[in-house]
């Protein structure tokens, strides 16, 4: 049932007299007929009347009431219905006085295909393809970390089908022992499916059973004197145990989410840890809007409703609601939320607050993470984070990027080329993760080959566990450089990485950059005042600075180094003897083989090497 009151001056007294005592939802409008607040109530009359008392404690509430020009109500049969309706209206209307959480487009899963040699991959969106889906994971970074871990433990392929079906030789993944090369028949279907079965057991949280199986196989191999195979099983078991120590919650076997909130002034943070099958899948940070004078309990109530409850455009399904949710505050409406979540999940869902033992430790860790993230947010990072949020919208990303890398190449007419990689996270430059690459063995001036080499060296190391794979890879260059990046990422089978080229515009002026979006196969030009463009320019300029500095250092070192130092077998004493005999490097360069061999300590073969050093026609 709908009820509405609207006048030039809102007559609260007469409106309140007409309100029913049952449950429902109320919507408050300002003079421009914009919804400024949506709320639910067990008793509409009592709840709405509370806004018009003489002594209102919170200034935010007083400001809200002063702007009310109209109120609409919807009466519902139950308080549960009111909660669902309130959540849908908040998500669709985004009122300025409600606590609002940024709603990610979808949450990532790990997808296992149905092929003779199935693949594992990152998946978002509708689950239409035949196969199995594991998750959801809190972020794309958590999925990539799990896939990378799986490749080390059980070498199941993760390459695209188009890449897999067109191989004539094993790819780099086989060389670094991350794949068994089913594409060229180096493993039979039975052995492959054994690795696959273990990978599935791991994703289902059954790693202890996997260890038991591997231990039996190790013993059998040792008894059969196949010590090489026994050693492989031993290494797998050791790796799995290390994973257990890092990822598994002691005594937990089911699904639960650990949620902690922190509020300071008008800034708040919610930290979510996702546990599935007893395994910690990672965490995600949320920064809500409109949290002035909100308590942690109110913050968490708003989060639970907006995160878990389904609305028309929501991507979260009932399977995403765990059996238990651990919270760092007691909620006033905990019973109602638990009831609605249970109804939506089709089973009982428990909200727990007072905890002991290992669960209390996990909740304390989540709370510590929330406070730390909040402190970083308050520490003059608001502008940078706003740039990240605008970048997410501009690029149509499913979630806020947590880590970005940018590559650039610097050289002088092909001399001493250096590739740079700079890293930014949501707090700015992460200089400890910067890397430089001295480019070798390419045609001087070939920027494409230089970029290919730098990217391969960087991401090959990351695949081997020497760092974190970013969410976005920026390339200082256009379609050609982006194509090189795409080839490298495909060869190394890195999933969920957005590649974006930063090409200079026709006039090459700052502010007219063209962004080449690899995945979407399109180009965009952002307005010169776009915060997203400013962030891109910042990381691009930092990559350029870092590359130029490395190039200058390398060029200076090369020019200060004698060519004689590069000749094997020609030590400091013999170099000194040569220079003394010929009166300098220029005369050594002019000397013939016979003249060089006449110097004490210089053999005929060594003289030939010295001569070739100065007279080679190579680059």
Residue 368's domain is classified under what CATH number? 3.30.420
pLDDT at 296: 92
How confident is the prediction for the chain on average, in pLDDT? Answer: 85
Residue that terminates a domain, selected from 379, 414, 448: 379
pLDDT at 247: 57
Question: Do 543 and 586 reside in the same domain of the chain?
Answer: no
pLDDT at 279: 77
Question: Do 407 and 540 reside in the same domain of the chain?
Answer: yes
Q: How confident is the model at residue 5 (pLDDT cuts 50, 70, 90)?
A: low
Is the Cβ–Cβ distance between 161 and 119 less than 8 Å?
Answer: yes
Residue that terminates a domain, selected from 198, 214, 247: 247
Question: Do 46 and 154 reside in the same domain of the chain?
Answer: no
For 115-163, the DSSP string reads SSS--EEEE-S---SSEEEE---S-HHHHHHHHHHHHHHS----S-HHH
Question: Do 400 and 514 reside in the same domain of the chain?
Answer: yes
Considering only 244-258, 402-416, 604-618, which range has the smallest mean pLDDT? 244-258
pLDDT at 253: 64
Kind plus residue range of the DSSP H or E element containing 352: strand 350-352
Of 267, 331, 333, which is closest to residue 297 (Cα–Cα)? Answer: 331
Question: Do 131 and 8 reside in the same domain of the chain?
Answer: no
CATH number of the domain enclosing 15: 3.40.1440.10
pLDDT at 249: 56
Q: How many CB atoms lie within 10 A of CB 54?
A: 4
CATH number of the domain enclosing 576: 1.10.150.20
Question: Do 438 and 462 reside in the same domain of the chain?
Answer: yes
Q: What's the longest Cα–Cα distance across the chain? A: 116
Question: Do 156 and 46 reside in the same domain of the chain?
Answer: no
Residue that terminates a domain, selected from 336, 360, 379: 379
Question: Do 243 and 113 reside in the same domain of the chain?
Answer: yes
Q: Is residue 384 part of a domain?
A: no
Question: Do 269 and 375 reside in the same domain of the chain?
Answer: yes
Q: Is residue 401 part of a domain?
A: yes
Contacts of 541 (CB under 8 A, 6+ apart): none
End-to-end CA distance of the chain: 84
Q: Is residue 99 part of a domain?
A: no
User: Could you report the per-residue pLDDT of 158-195, keeping only the tens digit for each?
Assistant: 998 889 988 899 988 888 888 999 999 999 999 999 99
Is the Cβ–Cβ distance between 506 and 530 less than 8 Å?
Answer: no
Tally of structural domains, the chain: 5
Contacts of 610 (CB under 8 A, 6+ apart): 564, 567, 570, 578, 588, 596, 602
Question: Do 416 and 369 reside in the same domain of the chain?
Answer: no
Q: Is residue 75 part of a domain?
A: yes
**Residue pointed to by tokens 């200060």:** 560
In terms of pLDDT, which residue wins out, 212 or 260? 260
Question: Do 185 and 79 reside in the same domain of the chain?
Answer: no
Q: Is residue 98 part of a domain?
A: no
What span, in angstroms and rounded, lies between the C-alpha atoms of 81 and 45?
A: 17
Q: How confident is the model at residue 300 (pLDDT cuts 50, 70, 90)?
A: very high
Buried b (16+ CB within 10 A) or exposed e, 364-374: eebbebbbebb
Q: Is residue 172 part of a domain?
A: yes
Q: Is residue 104 part of a domain?
A: no
pTM score of the predicted model: 0.66
Q: Is residue 102 part of a domain?
A: no
Q: How many CB atoms lie within 10 A of CB 556?
A: 11
Question: Does 271 score more than 90 pLDDT?
Answer: yes
pLDDT at 244: 64
User: Could you report the per-residue pLDDT of 30-78, keeping only the tens digit for each?
Assistant: 998 999 999 999 999 999 999 998 887 777 888 899 899 999 999 999 9
CA atoms within 13 A on the CB side of 229: 13
Query: Which range marks the domain in which residue 32 is found?
Result: 2-93
Question: Does 380 score more than 70 pLDDT?
Answer: no
For 390-429, the DSSP string reads HHHHHHT-SS---EEEEEEEEEETTEEEEEEEEEEETTEE
Question: Do 370 and 442 reside in the same domain of the chain?
Answer: no
User: Could you report the per-residue pLDDT of 46-58, keeping only the tens digit for each?
Assistant: 999 999 988 877 7
Most confident of 139-148, 320-329, 357-366, 587-596: 320-329
């Amino acid at each position: 049932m709908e009820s509405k009151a609207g006048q030039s001056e809102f007559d609260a007294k007469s409106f309140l007299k007409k309100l029913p005592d049952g449950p429902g939802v109320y919507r408050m409008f300002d003079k421009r007929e914009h919804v400024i607040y949506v709320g639910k109530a067990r008793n509409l009359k009592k709840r709405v009347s509370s806004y018009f008392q003489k002594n209102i404690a919170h200034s935010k509430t007083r400001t809200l009431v002063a702007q009310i020009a109209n109120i609409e109500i919807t009466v519902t049969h139950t308080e549960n219905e009111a909660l669902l309706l309130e959540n849908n209206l908040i998500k669709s209307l985004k009122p300025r006085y409600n606590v609002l959480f940024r709603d990610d487009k979808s949450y990532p899963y790990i997808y296992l295909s149905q092929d003779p040699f199935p693949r594992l991959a990152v998946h978002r969106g509708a689950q239409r393809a035949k196969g199995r889906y594991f998750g959801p994971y809190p972020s794309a970074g958590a999925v990539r970390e799990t896939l990378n871990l799986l490749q080390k433990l059980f070498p199941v392929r993760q390459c695209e089908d188009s890449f897999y079906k067109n191989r004539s030789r094993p790819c780099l993944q086989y060389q670094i022992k991350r794949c068994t090369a089913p594409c060229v028949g180096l493993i039979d279907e039975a052995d492959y499916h054994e690795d696959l079965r273990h990978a599935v057991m791991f994703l289902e949280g059954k790693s202890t059973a996997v260890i038991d199986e591997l231990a039996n196989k190790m013993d059998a191999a040792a008894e059969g004197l196949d010590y090489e195979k026994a050693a492989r099983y031993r290494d797998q078991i050791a790796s799995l145990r290390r994973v257990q120590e890092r990822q598994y919650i002691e005594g937990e076997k089911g699904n639960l989410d650990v949620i902690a909130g922190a509020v300071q002034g008008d800034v708040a943070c919610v930290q979510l840890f996702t546990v599935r099958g007893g395994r910690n899948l990672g965490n995600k940070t949320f920064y809500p809007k409109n949290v002035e004078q909100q308590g942690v309990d109110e913050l968490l109530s708003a989060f639970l409703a907006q995160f878990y409850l389904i609305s028309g455009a929501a991507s979260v399904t009932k399977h995403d609601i765990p059996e238990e949710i651990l919270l760092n505050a007691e909620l006033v409406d905990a019973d109602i939320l638990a009831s609605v979540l249970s109804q939506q999940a089709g089973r009982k869902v428990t909200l727990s607050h007072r905890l002991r033992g290992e669960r209390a430790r996990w909740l304390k860790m989540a709370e510590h993470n929330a406070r730390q993230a909040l402190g970083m947010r308050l520490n003059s990072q608001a502008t940078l984070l706003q740039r990240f949020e605008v970048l997410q919208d501009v690029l149509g990303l499913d979630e806020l990027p947590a880590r970005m890398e940018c590559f650039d190449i610097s050289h002088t007419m092909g001399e001493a080329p250096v590739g740079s990689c700079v890293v930014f996270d949501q707090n700015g430059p992460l200089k400890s993760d910067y890397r430089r690459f001295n480019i070798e063995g390419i045609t001087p001036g070939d920027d494409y080959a230089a970029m290919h080499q730098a990217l391969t060296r960087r991401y090959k190391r990351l695949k081997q566990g020497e760092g974190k794979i970013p969410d976005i890879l920026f390339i200082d260059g256009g379609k050609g450089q982006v194509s090189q990046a795409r080839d490298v990422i495909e060869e190394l089978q890195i999933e969920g990485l957005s590649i974006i080229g930063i090409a200079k515009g026709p006039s090459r002026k700052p502010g007219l950059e063209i962004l080449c979006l690899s995945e979407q196969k399109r180009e965009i030009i952002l307005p010169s005042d776009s915060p997203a463009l400013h962030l891109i320019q910042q990381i691009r300029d930092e990559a350029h600075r870092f590359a130029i500095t490395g190039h200058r250092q390398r060029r200076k070192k090369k020019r200060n180094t004698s060519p004689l130092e590069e000749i094997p077998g020609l030590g400091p004493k013999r170099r000194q003897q040569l220079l003394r005999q010929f009166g300098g490097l220029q005369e050594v360069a002019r000397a013939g083989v016979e003249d060089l061999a006449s110097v004490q300590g210089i053999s005929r073969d060594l003289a030939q090497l010295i001569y070739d050093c100065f007279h080679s026609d190579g680059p």
